[in-house]
Structure 1
Amino acid sequence: MRRAAPRRDGAERRERAVRASLAFHPDFRRLWIGDAASQIGATASLFVLPLLAATVLHATPFQVGLVSTSLTASFLVLGLPVGAWVDRMRHRRVLIVADAGRALALGSLPAAAAAGVLTLPQVCLVALGYGVLTVFFDVAYQSCLPGLVGRDRLVEGNAKLAATQSVALMGGPTVGGAAAQALTVPYAVAANAVCFAWSAVWIARIRTPEARPPRDPDRNLGREIGEGLRFVFGHRLLRAIAGCTGAFNLFRTASQPMLIVLLAGGLGLSAGTIGMFFAVGAAGGVAGAFLARRIAAALGQGRTIWTSAAVGGLSALLVPLVRDDWRLWVAAAGEFGMAFGAAVYDVAQVSFRQALCPTRLLGRMNATMRFLVWGTMPVGAFLGGALASLAGTRTVLWVAAAGMATAFLPVYLSPLRSLRRLPDAEPEAAVPRAA
């Protein structure tokens, strides 16, 4: 009996550690590592595919905009039904299939380059397929977190995932730029494919049981989508968050590909320097994710949402000043401010959304929000490329900066402006089911 005491003490210490931090939660750690690999692959892809079109295939600004449109078009086209489909499936299985599919899709590009048959239509088709799988992955991973860690630990879990995403935003362009410079751009895409395969391996190791969602014999896709839409549009705070995020993403996506075109073509910077530029900017996201919980504790969740959106949006006004001199780093400081504000904003508003929503509607709520806030991205990318063809890339940057600087107004003009503590979760019975 005396020998068993140390083992009990050790178990108690481990249990206390698990309660103290999700970093000691085995399955959250596996999700965390898998999501980190997936996010690095995703951010590098958003950088490398437009760069591939601009430098290797010598695409025009409008064609580069089409590549970026293809990467995000699925959020507009499939965003709503994916939420209903994900609510019918085990979330981990969706994550694994999405990662494996993205690895195969991106792997086709270096194969085509090696055979000498790489074309712009193929890049756009791969981007479209990649985007479809990304919709499934993003909706499923946000929906599986509450069941994995519990609703009382969502802020901590989202803060850790947001920190990882910010590191990916910093490391993805850097790794992508370095790989593009060392290996040539088509073969740099192969590293992105490896990231997605690695993510699938880690997520497959999660052991927390996940029950199969109950099958409703009378289920109807249209009615299920309608439930998600009514839940989001029926909540004033969710409407304000969707308006703010959707507006910011619209203008952000219009500017980002054109910024790459300006840096690579107009200013003649190398792929490595461009990657470093975005890495410096994305460091703000790392700082924001690590400070998000402290900021929310000091200001309250409601005030944190609108102030962080304002900081990120106003920082965008520095980006159009970019030149091939010291002003390059002034623009990078603007990228830093945007990423800092976005990270704090995302931790606060995503945690609120997950805590507010009943479990059975998580996939549809997340998909509806993704449809509203990411569905603007292909529109922004298309409009950015079209405007650049008419008025130049720098004009696009100024128009987009003005839009991002005012995107915080929907949340500022809502009750969030004065709320310190956000409303509690709505009970299941309070949410009407589809008829």
Structure 2
Amino acid sequence: MTGTLTPPPAVGRQRRGVPALLRQAQFRRYWSAQTVSLFGDQISALALPLLAVLGTDAGPAEMGYLTAAALLPNLLFSLLLGAWVDRYPHKRRVMVLADLGRAVLVGAVPLAYLLGVLSLHQLYAVAFLTGTLAVLFEVAHSALFVTLVPRRDYVDANALTNGSRAMSFVAGPSAGGILVQTLTAPVALLADALSYLVSALFLARIRPTRPAEPAPDGGTGLGIGHGLRFVARSQILRSLLLGTTTLNLFNYMFHALFVLYVSTQLGLSPGLLGLVIGVGSIGALLGAAVTGRLVRRFGIGPAALASFVLFPAPLVLVPLAGGPTPVVLGALFAAEFLAGLGVMMMDITVGSLQVAATPERLLARVTGAKRTVNYGIRPIGAVLGGTLGAAIGVRPTLWIATVGAVAGLLWILPTTIPKLRELPEPDHSAAG
């Protein structure tokens, strides 16, 4: 059973060059908070592993542990925090406090560096604690989103927020690489700490147009496993979760070794690495710009299906890269460009499908359940990538990771998703 994607006349259009949703003050503040925080995250995503590689001589196994430390909270806390957030009425307040906590944690790294006490174990701790606060932020995110955005605008709103993410892919790594090379990695992390403070300021100014729908009976009758059971009963949510989880297992094997491989075996400097990733991520901008049109032309299901190929497949160019520097740079550029386009398509289409198929009162718990499985597999992938990289070599492990990631498509093909033209209605029958 499907709903309608037909927008009102103003939706999907621009007036005076500004998208209609951004002319609404509450959504604009929400979008601004996302934009500035995502930019800082991209700087940190490059600066933190480079700090580990260049400042503590971390090897393949240590890089896997560092990546796993940031992702492990998704496995440990997503269900618990999702159940709590569904019962707590002030979702925005949760997000503000999570931003402030992350600002303090990330800002402590440069301080430890200046005092000469920075260690790899401290980086593990910062990664784990900021990852925990990220879980808290994200399980509240969907519940705030639906109080600000009409259902008919989900795809357009997701395209705008993911457009900001794409822009952060372009500018963030480039700025991060330059900051690391000129000011050192610890100093570059200050930009991320500042971004969390600015995000918290924007979020504090949001006044949702309506309150979030409460959990039934104050949530007292539903345990922390209810979100997971709901996902298991819903064909759409179950297949999307299995597909993205499979993809992420292999993608994070790749992610754990990418910086190490490119900086040591391919010999790229931090500045050049950041520039290649940033320029290649123009593909993500293109993906954010065209996904809405592709959805309207071909349907939400076919667009989602295509993203399960277009995101992981181009990354095979990374282990293929070799030879003269221009050839290496060309291969990395193409891989980042095409994968960036695919990941934006996936985030917009899959994100819209998941929100649309979930009753509002269960959004935090379902988000927690999805993060437990989908994000919980990521530290496993990171540790597996680091372990295999140390055992059989970095390049062979990258081959396994890039080829295996395409297998996520197999969970989507036999379902109704490829046939969906419009967003599905919430699956109340799966709620039990």
* TM-score, normalising length: structure 1: 0.90
Match of 1:3 in 2: none
Corresponding residue SS for 1:224: coil
CA distance in 2 between partners of 1:214 and 1:407 (Å): 34
Higher mean alpha-carbon deviation, 40-49 vs 193-202, is at 40-49
Match of 2:197 in 1: 197
Corresponding residue SS for 1:335: helix
Q: Could you say if the C-alpha distance between residues 172 and 209 of structure 1 is closer, same or farther in structure 2, counting changes exceeding 3 Å? A: same
Alpha-carbon RMSD across the aligned residues, in angstroms, is 2.2
Match of 1:154 in 2: 154
Alignment of 1:389-408 (within 5 A): 389-408=390-409
Match of 2:166 in 1: 166
Match of 2:371 in 1: 370
State yes or no: 1:342 paired with 2:343: yes
Q: Could you say if the C-alpha distance between residues 231 and 17 of structure 1 is closer, same or farther in structure 2, counting changes exceeding 3 Å? A: farther
Match of 1:266 in 2: 265
8 Å CA contact retained: 2:215, 2:362: no
Q: Could you say if the C-alpha distance between residues 216 and 149 of structure 1 is closer, same or farther in structure 2, counting changes exceeding 3 Å? A: closer
Corresponding residue SS for 1:231: helix
Higher mean alpha-carbon deviation, 91-100 vs 404-413, is at 404-413
Corresponding residue SS for 2:408: coil
Higher mean alpha-carbon deviation, 138-147 vs 321-330, is at 321-330
CA distance in 1 between partners of 2:22 and 2:106 (Å): 31
Cα offset for 1:25? 0.8
CA distance in 2 between partners of 1:208 and 1:216 (Å): 21
Corresponding residue SS for 1:412: coil
Match of 2:29 in 1: 30
8 Å CA contact retained: 1:50, 1:257: no
Q: Could you say if the C-alpha distance between residues 378 and 420 of structure 1 is closer, same or farther in structure 2, counting changes exceeding 3 Å? A: same
Match of 1:9 in 2: none
Higher mean alpha-carbon deviation, 113-122 vs 208-217, is at 208-217
8 Å CA contact retained: 1:180, 1:271: yes
Match of 1:387 in 2: 388
8 Å CA contact retained: 2:87, 2:218: no
Alignment of 1:26-425 (within 5 A): 26-89=25-88, 90-208=90-208, 211=211, 219-220=219-220, 223-323=222-322, 324-425=325-426
Report the structure number with the largest CA radius of gyration.
1
Structure 2: state its 5+ residue gaps: 1-9
Corresponding residue SS for 1:166: helix
Aligned pair count reads 416
Cα offset for 1:123? 0.5
Amino acid at match of 1:326: V
Amino acid at match of 1:396: T
8 Å CA contact retained: 2:159, 2:292: yes
CA distance in 1 between partners of 2:55 and 2:154 (Å): 43
Higher mean alpha-carbon deviation, 212-221 vs 168-177, is at 212-221
Cα offset for 1:188? 0.9
Cα offset for 1:381? 0.7
Higher mean alpha-carbon deviation, 16-25 vs 287-296, is at 16-25
CA distance in 2 between partners of 1:381 and 1:294 (Å): 35
Amino acid at match of 2:385: G
Match of 1:5 in 2: none
Amino acid at match of 2:395: R
Corresponding residue SS for 1:413: coil
Structure 1: state its 5+ residue gaps: 1-11
Cα offset for 1:81? 1.2
8 Å CA contact retained: 1:313, 1:407: no
Cα offset for 1:265? 1.6
8 Å CA contact retained: 2:70, 2:127: yes
Cα offset for 1:216? 7.2
8 Å CA contact retained: 2:144, 2:212: no
Amino acid at match of 2:101: G
CA distance in 2 between partners of 1:208 and 1:25 (Å): 11
Q: Could you say if the C-alpha distance between residues 139 and 391 of structure 1 is closer, same or farther in structure 2, counting changes exceeding 3 Å? A: same
Q: Could you say if the C-alpha distance between residues 426 and 415 of structure 1 is closer, same or farther in structure 2, counting changes exceeding 3 Å? A: closer
8 Å CA contact retained: 1:250, 1:377: yes
Q: Could you say if the C-alpha distance between residues 120 and 107 of structure 1 is closer, same or farther in structure 2, counting changes exceeding 3 Å? A: same
* TM-score, normalising length: structure 2: 0.91
Cα offset for 1:29? 0.5
Query: Percent of aligned positions with the same letter in both sequences?
Result: 33
